[in-house]
Amino acid sequence: MAGRLEGKRCIVMGAGQTPGETIGNGRAIAILFAREGAEVFCVDRHGERAEETVAMVGKEGGRAYALQADVAKGSDCEGVVAAAMERWGGLDVLVNNVGIGGGDGPAHRVEEAAFDRILTVNLKGAWLMTKAALAVLREQGAGAIVNISSLAAVAGGTQVAYEVSKAGMNRLTTSVAASNARHGIRCNAIMPGFMDTPMAVAGIAAARGESQQVVREARNARVPLGGKMGTAWDTAYAALFLACDEARFITGAILPVDGGMGTRIG
């Protein structure tokens, strides 16, 4: 079905991406939303990366606009919503897709500065952006928020700050859903598992001093469904469903998109 977001006004945070040979979640979401008829604000801390996404949307005849902003700053988040209101006079969909790692590790080794930075960007940033958007959505009496969490929220690992930030993202999702349902606002989250994205594969390869191919093969081997990682398009199609009116009766859901990995961890 084409045009599932026809006429919708959407903000996609983290719509640029870490440079790499594959596509990232935010960029894939922005492109797919535009294909389905939405107008999209592509927001990223790196303005040039947002511009790249806008150019890709434009080549397909879609409508998108680039904006540089830092989700760790409340004023920037408010500015994103203000820019959307200035252009559109309203807002229908917010996708919180910003996430970082770097300097993380097990609880006994991670440095305080790294822990604070990851929690600030991944969790506080999503809250700041959600708070800014809710000021508009509650007045409208309608809207959808899609949070990009991670299977790391429920799977034990060795990246304590990232895992805690994504567990918090899940709880932020259910809290926002519960307190805003009466205002016609839906809030859901996606938990991607192993995805073949630049941030995941290239970042891990660099941290371990291994080739991307070695990392890719090891990750593929751990995925039950087909023995291969998903892609950003798998995340994007899940986000499309949760953002569109087909999901009008779904809120507070945490949707795994993980090739069955969650079935192995409970």
Rounded Cα distance between 179 and 127, Å, is: 14
The yes-or-no verdict on residue 65 having pLDDT over 70 is yes
Domain assignment present for residue 133? The answer is yes
Rounded Cα distance between 67 and 223, Å, is: 36
Q: Is residue 64 a contact partner of residue 36, using CB atoms and an 8 Å limit?
A: no
For the stretch 196-252, pLDDT in tens is 998 888 878 887 888 989 999 999 999 999 999 999 999 999 999 999 999 999 999
Domain assignment present for residue 220? The answer is yes
**Alpha-carbon 87 to chain mean position:** 23
Domain assignment present for residue 160? The answer is yes
Selected catalytic residue, list 41, 127, 162, 194: 162
| pLDDT at position 238 | 98
The yes-or-no verdict on residue 154 having pLDDT over 50 is yes
Domain assignment present for residue 263? The answer is no
| pLDDT at position 1 | 43
| pLDDT at position 156 | 77
Rounded Cα distance between 141 and 237, Å, is: 25
Rounded Cα distance between 74 and 79, Å, is: 9
The yes-or-no verdict on residue 135 having pLDDT over 90 is yes
Rounded Cα distance between 133 and 78, Å, is: 8
Sheet holding 254-257, edge to edge: 63-68, 39-44, 9-13, 93-96, 143-148, 185-192, 254-257
Domain assignment present for residue 1? The answer is no
Q: Is residue 223 a contact partner of residue 229, using CB atoms and an 8 Å limit?
A: yes
- Domain range spanning residue 196? 9-257
What are the Cα distances from residue 244, in Å, to 10, 89, 132, 162, 167?
11, 19, 21, 29, 25
Q: Is residue 46 a contact partner of residue 84, using CB atoms and an 8 Å limit?
A: no
| pLDDT at position 264 | 86
Annotation says 162 is catalytic: yes
For the stretch 69-123, pLDDT in tens is 999 999 999 999 999 999 999 999 999 999 999 899 999 999 999 999 999 999 9
Domain assignment present for residue 262? The answer is no
For the stretch 159-204, pLDDT in tens is 999 999 999 999 999 999 999 999 999 999 999 999 999 888 887 8
Can you give the CATH number for the domain in which 91 is found? 3.40.50.720
Count of domains observed in the chain: 1
Best CA proximity match to 159, nearest among 207, 126, 206: 207
Residue 253 pLDDT grade (very low, low, confident, very high; cuts 50, 70, 90) = very high
19, two tokens:
């440079």
Instruction: Indicate whether this model's pTM tops 0.85.
Output: yes
Residue 266 pLDDT grade (very low, low, confident, very high; cuts 50, 70, 90) = low
Rounded Cα distance between 164 and 102, Å, is: 14
Domain assignment present for residue 35? The answer is yes
For the stretch 32-47, pLDDT in tens is 999 999 999 999 999 9
